[in-house]
Chains A and B, each alone.
Chain A
């Protein structure tokens, strides 16, 4: 293990824990760190250094993967702040979508049974969910700016709700698109 390398992703990159990151800067740092840490550079070094290099690079790659994606980055920050997130919560239907989802499932059922007449309804649903997702994305963007300006726990709570809703809608969109193909 790496006793003296930071295990926090932001810290590892030498960045402040913010929800908005300059991606060009992040990539530049990723390349710089890769050049220093990558196992290819340690082939002729002490075995313990080789081991450290592998562990450190795995950590670097894992961190970069999470930090470069705004949603994963937000989830990571939430997890660090002690919020529980995960697929489980996204299975609960948001109450305001209950009726919608019920109708949608009927339509999906019909499509699966080979009844193509449900197609227009599904296409309509897909467009609607796309619009909802865009709306949530706009809201998330706003919340991210808010949090970066004043890191309040309350804002993180709102971000979590928005992320769960988004994940739920994303799963619906995936289901619909799979049937429409």
Chain B
């Protein structure tokens, strides 16, 4: 059999960086000279995170949808990030403030009603991702299938998982979730001379994060992170909106709060007045509606008084973060400001007061996260070699033990990937399964922590109580998402783990949503599966071709080398078959026959760094 010679290095596709924000989203890519924002077809760099279903059933995203928010409030949704990975009971308070139209049957997963259709929050986010993907494809002139997406550092497991689900639904493989402040630090640290301890204060539309990092020799090591996933500019808008609605009620004798169109028009006026107050000492909230007018002057003094409590709420997480990082304020050489809300003078003043130094505001706070995501995309593709992010998990992970107490396995601010192994045993003779309740949070009692998932170990050998010992490995991966594997300590056999996420979608539900999104689309679902499998095949073929040029390959037995070559050829034969199962089976086979090669590669890498370092 002849060997195909294909240079897969040439087909290297661009990985895009996405800031999927509460208020606005952006997409960027790593260009030859550095990261760059990709504008939309309308020329705007910011894509409002607003999705609307028109009366014709068309889905629109961005500025167009933002305009529909006023005329079609019942068919339009914004700030959906607040609902990602959340249960109905978590967001009950929000529902009074946001015009989310919750559909029936939202007990396990929230369903939003937009006109006649219902969507889960990941489906809405998927529409935003699709728009950004389209923008990138139009700009780059090539298909884009992979992305780095940023999330608030303080996002929990369910919120991260929901974001990943959104990517899957949108047909965009999210290679990495990066924490927003960390991404910002990458963009900020572009200047190679930056060294030392840096704090990133990130106050966006709906979330607040604070991270403290050590930057040294291209390594961005997060020491600690803290935050609040429900604190941001939205809260200020809602505060002003409430005041304006009360004013109007007393002036006009009319309650507008149930009138979607009026509320959204007023909300635009409120945001406008708020944004102006960052630059001028006084502005006006004005509304003209149904022949009546309302105008209210807000001075910056009054504004500062109104928002003082919200701004103060960011300071406690900052203090805790400094403490957890094990640093003192005077060790922090610089404070970087990220997120649109950091334009507010009172916010800057508060940060300066706490960190005792003038915060950095020269970077565009709306764009810096997306730029950082693009750099991280460059790191993953191998284009950026001199930088590396070492991030942490924001919340402790534990399991339920006797008496409803949480036993912590992985502490918050542990560098990820992080792992912990725990042995479980049966308490009754013949017991066939063990239920493990995993929680996230800092409190001691189960009822005060957030349920993450229940893992069930099933089909255990029926043995006397205590004889079965199952080693369960909890691993938080580089995305901050939990993976669980188990094995029988006695037999060494892999043990299957059944996962029931406490919040969010099951794999089957995500699959169904992907199918659903293709029902009406021009593209065939099968075609997409084939295409995605070819992307996977391309990736492994390129990786194996590269590995074949290394010493590790020649350390293999001749048989092993032959098996690899044979499988490469087999995979190439089925590559164009149009049968994604078939392609998958040979990708799997190539995976299997390269295990030893991978191990050799890894050992060579590690030996290299440890050589001659023994003390």
Contacts and interface: CB of A to CB of B under 8 A. Distances in A.
B417 A61 contact: yes
Interface in B585-602: 591, 594-595, 597-599, 601-602
A36 B415 contact: no
Interface string B408-444: 0000001111111000000000000000000000000
B177 interface: no
Interface stretch (A46-54, A75-83, A90-98, A136-144): A46-54
Interface stretch (B203-211, B271-279, B382-390, B510-518): B382-390
Contacts of A38: 388, 390, 478
Contacts of A49: 543, 547, 598, 601-602
Interface stretch (A25-33, A110-118, A122-130, A158-166): A25-33
A65 B414 contact: yes
Interface stretch (B68-76, B124-132, B309-317, B606-614): B606-614
Given A31-B217, A40-B380, A46 B606 contact: no
B605 A47 contact: no
A6 to B, nearest CB: 9
Interface residues of B, number: 48
Given A15-B615, A32-B609, A58-B475, A44 B418 contact: no
A14 B615 contact: yes
Given A46-B591, A48-B595, A61-B414, A31 B175 contact: no
A5 interface: yes
Nearest to A59: B419
Contacts of B389: 40
A65 B547 contact: no
A64 B597 CA distance: 28
Interface string B569-591: 00000000000000000000001
A40 B610 CA distance: 20
Interface string B213-254: 000110101000000000000000000000000000000000
Given A31-B217, A40-B379, A43-B381, A62 B606 contact: no
B106 interface: no
B478 A54 contact: yes
B402 to A, nearest CB: 13
Interface string B473-504: 00101100000000000000000000000000
B599 A4 contact: yes
Interface of A is mostly: helix
B417 A54 contact: yes
Given A38-B390, A46-B591, A54-B475, A31 B216 contact: yes
A59 B376 CA distance: 23
A53 B144 CA distance: 26
B615 A4 contact: no
A38 to B, nearest CB: 6
A46 B598 contact: yes
A37 B473 CA distance: 20
Contacts of B390: 34, 38
Contacts of B416: 61
B364 interface: no
Contact of B599 (A41, A45, A52, A62): A52
A25 B379 CA distance: 26
A136 to B, nearest CB: 21
Given A35-B219, A52-B598, A58-B417, A44 B605 contact: no
Given A5-B606, A38-B388, A58-B475, A44 B381 contact: yes
Given A46-B540, A46-B544, A54-B478, A14 B382 contact: no
Given A14-B610, A14-B614, A38-B388, A45 B418 contact: no
A41 to B, nearest CB: 8
B602 A53 contact: yes
Given A14-B610, A34-B390, A48 B599 contact: yes
A38 B544 CA distance: 19
Interface of A: 3-5, 14-16, 25, 29, 31-41, 43-49, 51-59, 61-62, 64-65
State the 9 A-B residue pairs at the shortest beta-carbon distance, nearest first.
A48-B598, A58-B417, A49-B598, A58-B419, A43-B380, A61-B415, A52-B602, A46-B543, A14-B610
16 contacts: A34-B388, A36-B606, A38-B388, A40-B376, A40-B380, A43-B176, A43-B380, A45-B547, A46-B591, A48-B598, A49-B547, A54-B477, A55-B475, A56-B606, A57-B417, A57-B478
